Amino acid sequence: MTDEEAVAAAATIAGCRYGSYEREAPRKTIYRMQIGDRNAVARVAVLGMAEPKMVSRPWPDLPHPASFLRGAFDGDGCVHAHYHRYKKYGREYVNKTLTVRTMLYGSVPFLEGLNRFLATQGISPKTIHAQRKSKSIIHFIEWAKGDSLRLADVMYSEDGPRLDRKYQKFFANPERMI
């Protein structure tokens, strides 16, 4: 990953070290960790996590799906808060209402399962979008402001590890991103 904070947090939880290697600019530094313990690898494989989520893995059946979602979001999600800019009759305007978009990337089966889980939490299923990224196609779901805040409430409903910079985007504003 290019996100050192996420890899460092995962390495701390797993009780292992992580390393990095530089790439030529403008490419970012890559951070990685390896888990070599056979028992740990076997436990992860039993949960159906033997291949990357981005390929074809479905949403897993786990005892703490909200915590799993938080981990998936920390690894492959993003939240953006911005003001909408538009042009009308040759003039540029700024809509003063804050727009929030939350996105999570994964395989189609993973995102379909995520939609089913979130439906049990009161969040209506969203369209799975496809985007060409170099030679491959990536899939993602996007939520607007209201569902983004409901999504945050689900993800952070259980205590556990989290990336504070992503958490702060949802909860640092006392008016919850108005």
Domain boundaries, the chain: 1-46, 52-171
Q: How many CA atoms lie within 13 A of 111 on its CB side?
A: 22
Pairing of strands 77-88, 30-33: unpaired
Residues in the chain predicted with pLDDT less than 50, given as ranges, are 174, 178
pLDDT given for residue 126 in this prediction: 94
Fold observed for domain 52-171:
Endonuclease I-creI (3.10.28)
Q: Facing residues of 83 across strands? A: 98
Summarize pLDDT for 119-164 with one digit per residue, the tens: 999 999 999 999 887 777 888 899 888 888 899 999 999 998 888 8
